[in-house]
Amino acid sequence: MPGKQGQILQLEQKQLQKLSPQQYLVAKLVELPLTDFEQKIKDEIYENVALEEGRDSSDEFERNDQDDDVDDFDAGKDDSEDEFNPSDGSADSDIDYSEAPSDYDSDDLPNYSRNAASRDEDAEIPIGDTRSFIEDLQAQISEYEVTDKQRELIEYLIGSLDERGFVDRSLVDISDDLLFNHNVEASVAELEEALAILQQFEPCGIGARNLRECLLLQIDRQLQNVDSVDEASLTSQQQSARRLLQLERRIIADHFSLFEHNDPQRLASELDISPEQLRLAIAAISKLNPHPGRSLHEAATDQVQTIIPDFFVETDHENSISFSLNMGKIPSLRVSNEYVQQIDAYQKISEKLSHDQRDAYTYARRQVESARMFIAAIKQRQNTLISTMKAIIAMQRDFILTQDDDLLKPLRLVDVADRTHLDISTISRVVNSKYVLLDGTLFPLKYFFVRSKTNAEGDLIMRTKVFPLIRDIIEHEDKLKPLPDERIAQVLQEEKGLKISRRTVSKYREEMKIPPAKFRKQI
């Protein structure tokens, strides 16, 4: 009948990717820097009674601390695919940990890794840096009443922030990533709630999805502070400040496009205000922080901490390259013989087990399986790190031999993923928070990844080449009429023959910490 509503039963088939417990554990271990990895092992030994330090007499691997325990890249070899043979271990392959070795020796490595203790130099390199702004944000979670699920989502959102402090991915994509890569179900509505909490953190504006939202968060925070004062107690100065804040909000909330394109005449007309009122509002907006994440990171770098390199890379006068994986203070591990024997004993009398004995048998079996899985995951982690570093060395050989930035080749995460046959998310986890000590100089692993653009002739134009060109154009611009990013892109094409989009110019400018045109204008 017309207007009658009913229910329709529909069968829909979907293919969902879920990580096995082994894959999830490996993914977690891979992304940890060395110091956190060492602490994770200590925690696991403390929590799992079936996991012990040491080696038994049936140890399959012998210690080898010789200095030649590295992989040499012959100077005569090129970067062809057949030069590189990745390790069989992959962070994205599922291991049957029931058949994994019951022990783990920190020197049980492929031939290109060794313990840092065997090195003459100190593995701890102090540099001017401290915990990242991500860690500072994570510390603020405890100041809010959140559920365990919200805490997990907020931590993931914090980890998704770019260097500006923005969440530059859609919540739909984040929801899918949580499900497919981390086996965590989170609706967009739940992510919205978690993001709303994150946006209350300091510095104000953190967690914004774009510049407009970032500025609105800061204006709303100031308005909230003014509105918290009783109306009758407001001074004339505070009332003027509130009116100015309300005007700022109207500009950003309702006329952001005109503000972004620096059209003061139309703005004043649309808002029905005087040029002087507009000037005061624009001046106040220009004092807001367009990159809250960056300012917090810069404030953190005033402190000093010790960063321990995850890799050692060395070159010699014969253009040979060798590298080793820093194993730090990771102990040898084994599964407790006592628990293995206990399981064997229970299995022999499985038909006669009492209720308490069955519980003890189940507990012991779970602990042993967990210990074996952890040992297998450690080996997978080291194989993944070694495969990744070996690929980077092969593809950035010229830079590694000279440390000349001009010789950095275009390199993306997907290039290393293709070469190692690992998933790109695995490469991303390896690159994050890892450091390389190259001939005594410390580099973040991200340093080796360089993007590029192509000019009309098809030549690759490095970011390191484009940066000084953009900076030079901005330094010589008319300070009363600074060039917008679109005009800078035109100048690059007209004068330098470089075809680069406005969006790319904006990104490069932000990476150089140069404000947009409207904030560079000298009134």
What's the pLDDT tens digit per position in 242-280? 889 999 999 999 999 888 888 888 989 999 999 889 989
pLDDT tier, 197 (very low <50, low <70, confident <90, very high otherwise): very high
pTM of full prediction above 0.85: no
Enter the DSSP assignment of 223: H
What's the pLDDT tens digit per position in 36-65? 888 899 988 888 888 888 765 333 322 333
Strands 311-315 and 435-438: parallel
Residue 175 corresponds to which tokens in the numbers above? 């929801």
Residues facing 323 on adjacent strands: 71, 313
- Evaluate if residue 30 carries a pLDDT over 70: yes
Q: What is the pLDDT of residue 443?
A: 87
Residues facing 443 on adjacent strands: 436
Q: What is the pLDDT of residue 383?
A: 93
- Is the CB of residue 175 less than 8 Å from the CB of residue 187? yes
Enter the DSSP assignment of 377: H
DSSP string for 259-281: HHTT-HHHHHHHHT--HHHHHHH
- Residues of the chain with pLDDT > 90, as a percent, come to 20
DSSP string for 129-151: --S-HHHHHHHHGGGS---HHHH
Query: In whole angstroms, what is the distance from residue 23 CA to residue 497 CA?
Result: 47
Across the chain, what does the average pLDDT equal? Answer: 76
For residue 203, say if its preceding peptide bond is cis, omega within 30 degrees of 0: yes
Q: What is the pLDDT of residue 311?
A: 92
- Evaluate if residue 294 carries a pLDDT over 60: yes
Q: What is the pLDDT of residue 19?
A: 58
Q: What is the pLDDT of residue 452?
A: 53
pLDDT tier, 495 (very low <50, low <70, confident <90, very high otherwise): confident
What's the pLDDT tens digit per position in 434-458? 889 998 888 888 888 876 544 433 4
Q: CATH class for domain 452-520?
A: mainly alpha
CA-wise closest residue to 330 among 101, 28, 106: 106
Mean pLDDT of 347-363: 84
Q: What are phi and psi of 159, to 5 degrees?
A: -70, -15
Q: What are phi and psi of 242, to 5 degrees?
A: -65, -40
What's the pLDDT tens digit per position in 74-117? 333 333 332 222 233 333 333 333 334 444 444 433 333 334 34
Query: In whole angstroms, what is the distance from residue 102 CA to residue 341 CA?
Result: 13
Q: What is the pLDDT of residue 11?
A: 60
- Is the CB of residue 378 less than 8 Å from the CB of residue 104? yes
Domain boundaries, the chain: 21-123+309-448, 133-298, 452-520
